[in-house]
Copies of this chain bind each other. A is one copy, B any other.
Amino acid sequence: MVTRTELANAIRFLAMDAVEKAKSGHPGAPMGMADIAEVLWRDHLKHNPANPHWADRDRFVLSNGHGSMLIYSLLHLTGYALSIDDLKNFRQLHSKTPGHPEYGYAPGVETTTGPLGQGITNAVGMALAEKMLAAEFNRDGHAVVDHHTWAFLGDGCLMEGISHEACSLAGTWGLGKLVAFWDDNGISIDGDVEGWFTDDTPARFEAYGWQVIRGVDGHDADEIATAIATAKAETARPTLICCRTKIGFGAPNKQGGHDVHGAPLGAAEIAAAREHLKWPHAPFEIPADIYAAWNAREAGAKCEAAWDERFAEYARAYPELAAEFKRRMAGELPARWAEHKAAALARINEAAQTVASRKASQIAIEAFSPLFPEFVGGSADLTGSNLTNWSGSEWIDAEGNGNYISYGVREFGMAAIMNGMTLHGGLRPYGGTFLMFSEYARNALRMAALMKINPIFVFTHDSIGLGEDGPTHQPVEQTATLRYIPNMDTWRPCDTLETAVAWAHAIEQGQRPSNLILSRQNLPFVPRDASQLEAVARGGYVLRDAASPKAVLIATGSEVELALKAQEALASEGVAVRVVSMPSTNVFDRQDKAYQASVLLPGVPRVAIEAGISDFWRKYVGLEGDVVGIDTFGESAPAPLLFKEFGFTVDNVVAKTRAVIA
């Protein structure tokens, strides 16, 4: 009979040997947390290795993602489609086992982790999604949504500010099925943490309303098992299990120190560990009895089959709910989406309203949301400013009912929680803050793009046009920098119609997040013909043409109005120019070259107009064109004065246009 320690040692040696072979990586955390993982994964985790997409599986998040060999070992040992060769390919090009766990690479990796603090925050989002879906779909005697979210985290995650945002909300929301294991090993990269991390972490989490289980020996299976049982027994509060561990446990000369954290142990130390832990097996060789004890395929298949039966009963009792649950977990658009969208766009086009584009966004939400019960709106404490709510918004309650979340002043937490909800499936989150504070959330936006998931970020107050709040709140470089995130669509629409198209486009994205950049101030509606209406979704299009244009004016958002006025002024002086509206450069850049040329007219000089950093536009206007932009910080003053102060005037656009033509 194999012992628990031997089972845990299998993880330790896979981690040591894979890091050694890759010549880089982090053996310390997998070795330190192996015993915890053994108890959790063998005795508690509800999963089916043959189907990593099973809707009611438990979610497991390795927030300390540098310890990736821990999860790779677990997935391999329990029988996921992750072979020993995959482990041998750790950190190699196009392998399933990159340096940090990447969503979409190894089956069973629920989220990409590595940037510290975001994994536990994703986990909070997953646990919230479970609670909300349970509230929405479960019926008496039919608990089709009923699973736990487990997170491993280290000192680094706990030091990061985002852990405060996420864990505070987890407490407020009473996420009773969220259980986090703190790898309390006293070590971070700079050494012993006592010089820079002296929080009473258990007291901190109690202050958030968590159940905290103190002083668990992270190398004692019985203590771990008891703690997990206590965690599962608590249904109204999330649980933090504080596990004292030795980093690099089993490396006799290096364990407990920071040298073991992020570098191969070296052949000598690994040999010593083999001796010390009595593990005579060669690298990447796991004895059959140990494989057998780890294998979870049979138990997993049974577990899922039982759920399948329960779901079938549920489907008989509630066929519509069951169908809806399946659609939502599959991430499919509602069947009537195309017609609903067309009707909504037609209605918005007819209404021809002049409103702020943040208001236009609310109009679009109002138009589309009735079709999307999976929408979960929210804001980082700026609902009335972001206008992210609609007539059907219901704030979530203690039981998880509702479809709208006030995240509080927690932009980064909001974005990473939205990522977690999206990864869980069944919900489609969108959330708002001021565009400036996209900066607080920035790495979570990038993570959404990297993971190819599709949350929608609503960023209002998009330029000096917000006026009196001044330069701390006035975006200058933010729109340009968001456009630079790969695999992400940034939209800056000019009126109600473009805003609605942007929303629809964002909704339709399956593997890409979107940013909607919106004005505080009113923007005039621009009438369009049928082909222009079609073209908005291409990201850039001819909004007002002229015969034989001498120049092309390219504008976005609030500056489209200025471009149109400049066009008129130039026309009155006998100078014909075309106006191109470019609500999404990212989408326009994906159009075919012929279409792009038909819009931009190669050879005709161009002037771009946007209340943002001008250099961005050189990719469209070249060295010969010009840009009416803003390359300094803004000022505090009423918006109309600011636009004048910074050169967003018809006269200036006319002068620059004349200059590029000459």
Complex Cα gap A407–B473 (Å):
27
B residues less than 8 Å from A469 (CB atoms): 24, 66, 99-100, 114
Complex Cα gap A470–B97 (Å):
10
- Interface hub of A189, A437, A449 (most chain B Cβ within 10 A): A189
Copies in the complex: 2
Given contacts A102-B470, A114-B469, A115-B437, contact A199 B188 (CB under 8 A): no
Q: How far is the CB of A199 from chain B (nearest CB, A)?
A: 5
Q: How far is the CB of A390 from chain B (nearest CB, A)?
A: 15
- Say yes or no for A480: interface residue by CB 8 A criterion: yes
- Say yes or no for A561: interface residue by CB 8 A criterion: no
Query: A410's closest neighbor in chain B, by CB?
Result: B159
Do residues B408 and A188 form an inter-chain contact, with CB atoms below 8 A?
A: yes
B residues less than 8 Å from A384 (CB atoms): 189-190
Complex Cα gap A477–B481 (Å):
8
- Say yes or no for A164: interface residue by CB 8 A criterion: yes
Complex Cα gap A615–B172 (Å):
43
Interface stretch among A28-36, A205-213, A314-322? A205-213
In chain A between 25 and 65, which residues have their CB closer than 8 angstroms to a CB of chain B? 25, 65
Do residues A156 and B409 form an inter-chain contact, with CB atoms below 8 A?
A: yes
Do residues A383 and B93 form an inter-chain contact, with CB atoms below 8 A?
A: no
Do residues B486 and A412 form an inter-chain contact, with CB atoms below 8 A?
A: no
Partner of A199, one of B207, B383, B472, B481: B207
Q: How far is the CB of A408 from chain B (nearest CB, A)?
A: 4
Interface stretch among A323-331, A489-497, A522-530, A619-627? A619-627
Complex Cα gap A615–B619 (Å):
6
Complex Cα gap A484–B446 (Å):
18
Interface stretch among A76-84, A277-285, A304-312, A637-645? A637-645
Complex Cα gap A473–B100 (Å):
9
Complex Cα gap A447–B618 (Å):
26
In chain A between 85 and 115, which residues have their CB closer than 8 angstroms to a CB of chain B? 91-95, 98-100, 102, 112-115
B residues less than 8 Å from A484 (CB atoms): 477, 480-481, 613, 615-616
Do residues A168 and B93 form an inter-chain contact, with CB atoms below 8 A?
A: no
Interface string of A600-638 (1 = CB under 8 A from B): 000000000000010110110011100000011101111
B residues less than 8 Å from A188 (CB atoms): 381, 408-409
- Say yes or no for A505: interface residue by CB 8 A criterion: no
B residues less than 8 Å from A115 (CB atoms): 436-437, 440, 472
B residues less than 8 Å from A613 (CB atoms): 484, 486
Do residues A645 and B408 form an inter-chain contact, with CB atoms below 8 A?
A: no
- Say yes or no for A303: interface residue by CB 8 A criterion: no
Q: How many A residues face the partner with a CB closer than 8 A?
A: 109
Complex Cα gap A66–B162 (Å):
23
Do residues B190 and A381 form an inter-chain contact, with CB atoms below 8 A?
A: yes
- Say yes or no for A141: interface residue by CB 8 A criterion: no
Do residues A443 and B450 form an inter-chain contact, with CB atoms below 8 A?
A: no
Complex Cα gap A473–B446 (Å):
11
Complex Cα gap A1–B200 (Å):
48
Complex Cα gap A233–B14 (Å):
56
- Say yes or no for A471: interface residue by CB 8 A criterion: yes
- Say yes or no for A442: interface residue by CB 8 A criterion: yes
- Say yes or no for A138: interface residue by CB 8 A criterion: no
Q: How far is the CB of A4 from chain B (nearest CB, A)?
A: 31
Complex Cα gap A197–B207 (Å):
11
Query: A642's closest neighbor in chain B, by CB?
Result: B93
- Say yes or no for A203: interface residue by CB 8 A criterion: yes
Given contacts A114-B472, A622-B618, contact A635 B203 (CB under 8 A): no
Do residues B209 and A472 form an inter-chain contact, with CB atoms below 8 A?
A: no
Q: How far is the CB of A328 from chain B (nearest CB, A)?
A: 25
Query: A66's closest neighbor in chain B, by CB?
Result: B469
- Say yes or no for A193: interface residue by CB 8 A criterion: yes
Q: Beyond the given A161-B410, A168-B197, A203-B206, please list 11 additional residue pairs across the A-B interface where CB-CB is below 8 A.
A: A91-B468, A93-B642, A112-B472, A114-B472, A160-B161, A172-B197, A189-B381, A190-B382, A191-B406, A199-B209, A204-B207
Q: Pick the 3 closest A-B CB pairs, nearest first.
A: A161-B161, A98-B636, A164-B164
Cross-chain pairs A/B with CB under 8 angstroms, 28 sampled: A22-B468, A91-B638, A94-B635, A100-B469, A100-B470, A102-B471, A114-B473, A117-B161, A159-B165, A159-B168, A160-B409, A161-B162, A161-B165, A161-B410, A163-B164, A171-B199, A172-B197, A188-B408, A189-B383, A190-B379, A196-B408, A198-B209, A203-B204, A203-B206, A442-B442, A480-B484, A484-B613, A484-B616
> A residues bordering B, Cβ < 8 Å?
22, 24-25, 65-66, 91-95, 98-100, 102, 112-117, 155-157, 159-165, 168-169, 171-172, 188-191, 193, 195-201, 203-204, 206-209, 379, 381-385, 395, 406-410, 412-413, 436-437, 439-440, 442-443, 446-447, 449-450, 467-473, 476-477, 480-481, 484-487, 613, 615-616, 618-619, 622-624, 631-633, 635-638, 641-642, 645
